[in-house]
Amino acid sequence: MLDGTNRAADEVVAVMPPALVECTVEKVAVNAVMAGCLPEYLPVVLAALEAVCTDEFNMHGILATTMGVGPVLVVNGPVSSRIGMNSGVNALGQGNRANATIGRAVQLVVRNVGGGAPGGIDRATHGSMAKLGFCFAEDEAGSPWTTLSEDRGFDRSQDVVTAFCGEAPRILVDQKSRSADSLVRALAEGLRASVSPRVVMGMDGMLVLSPEHMSRFRDAGWDRNRFMSELAGHLTVEADEILAGAGGIEEGLPEGFAGTTLPKFRPGGLLVVHAGGPAGLFSAIVGGWVNGPMGSEPTSREITP
Amino acid sequence: MSQPTVVLDPTAGTTPSDRTRSPRPTSLVGVTVGLLDISKPRGDVFLDRVAERLGEQGATVLRYAKPTFTKPAPVDLRHEIATQCAAVIEALAD
């Protein structure tokens, strides 16, 4: 396994929460073997651990929270095809060794080295499949848009892993929209329910656009910026509809927000990725967790040998 | 001759250190008790009531709050509580 990286076995990769112990490349390698990784996956695992073990990503809180969230890892750059990652059919599911084991290795390191065992520091009410390990690659070649990593300031030629704190994905169906305008409205409507229709701005989200959904925007000539702008225009919420007590539901915003219109997501709080098989008029939503300095920031790291 | 089997430890290999608990206060009269709010909704409602009850029993109450419930209490805050209080009560959530 250690042949997969140029880094020394005793090099410290990160200080691992929750026990805050120094974690070496060798310890990561041991857990990567247990996860089923091939040696060529190790640099991705190492970069992912560097991303999650930062104050801004806040792996401690993500592990400890009662919400069922975990590090959702998106890989960009030539490395994804070089190590055989799946960005196509069943990209978020089973059946690809790299996708299945990279995220698993990250979780095993947190559990074994950091001591973050379920029922101990890990207090998740239900947990979710995202906590087993959630990693996939963006379909860059099939997308007319800039990639997630480019959107986050990297060059397309760089190998990058982005960690997003999220739950397991759910499907958003729209099989009838034939125009970009119709589909963006449908996506916005679905995204408004991310985490809860009553949560606005405080939690981020990820949208995984399928190739067939992307084709609507490609045909209309929309680039990423146009899409994000149109989507934001439809992703506003009338606060009166989600005030505490509105509709007989006690959960909701304080009365002080009455009469205002609010965005569902904070600026930059929705990550959009292109992945999935060539057939299927669905996209996937990954709900997030407490965002920003109070919780978790999406965090990217370059993958180096 | 077969090679010996080497088993690698996937854990940090550390063990928790034993620390003696501070003596428990036998009375609350004149004792300084810290109330730590982790900053989740309505934790203050619980702690306000606890403060009231502790005051009735003669304790001096000091209030503290974590900047966010999602992260461990900063080391400075932990030090502040440890040096100023004989006991601490933490309000968890909601």
Beta-strand pair A270-274/A21-24:
unpaired
Structural domain range at position B74 = 32-91
Rounded mean pLDDT of B75-92?
Answer: 93
Cα separation, A147 vs A199, in Å, equals 28
Number of domains in chain A: 1
Residues A206, A127, A21: CA angle, nearest 5 degrees: 90
ipTM confidence = 0.83
Residues A279, A285, A85: CA angle, nearest 5 degrees: 60
Closest by Cβ to B71, choosing from A23, A60, A66: A60
Taking the model in full, what pTM does it have? Answer: 0.94
Binned at pLDDT 50, 70 and 90, residue B92 comes out as: confident
Nearest to A80 by CA among A25, A158, A18: A158
B16 to chain A, closest Cα gap in Å:
10
A203 - beta bridge partners?
Answer: A290
Closest by Cβ to B8, choosing from A30, A65, A295: A30
Residues of chain B with Cβ-Cβ distance to A16 below 8 Å are 12
Inter-chain touch A30–B68, beta carbons under 8 Å? no
Cα separation, A157 vs A79, in Å, equals 10
Residue A130 confidence (pLDDT):
95
Better-scored residue on pLDDT, B23 or A194: A194
CA A17 and chain centroid, separation:
20
Inter-chain touch B11–A34, beta carbons under 8 Å? no
Cα separation, A253 vs A241, in Å, equals 9
Question: Looking only at Cα atoms, what is the longest distance across chain A?
Answer: 61
Number of domains in chain B: 1
Residue B89 burial (CB < 10 Å; 0-12/13-18/19+)?
middle
Cα separation, A69 vs A167, in Å, equals 4
Residues 6 or more apart from A89 whose CB is under 8 A from it?
A276, A277, A278
Which residues of B sit within 8 Å Cβ distance of A? 8-12, 14, 67-68, 70-72, 93
Task: Classify residue B84: in a domain, yes or no.
Answer: yes
Residue A18 confidence (pLDDT):
93
Binned at pLDDT 50, 70 and 90, residue B21 comes out as: confident
Residues of chain B with Cβ-Cβ distance to A165 below 8 Å are none
Residue of B nearest to A61 (CA): B70
Q: Where are the alpha helices (DSSP H) in chain B?
A: 43-56, 75-84
Closest by Cβ to A115, choosing from B8, B12, B70: B12
Structural domain range at position A56 = 2-302
Closest by Cβ to A112, choosing from B11, B67, B72: B11
What number of C-beta contacts closer than 8 Å exist between A and B? 42
Residues A152/A164, Cβ–Cβ less than 8 Å: no
Rounded mean pLDDT of B23-36?
Answer: 94
Cα separation, B63 vs B46, in Å, equals 12
Inter-chain touch A295–B11, beta carbons under 8 Å? no
- Residues of chain A scoring pLDDT < 50: none
Beta-strand pair A236-238/A261-263:
antiparallel
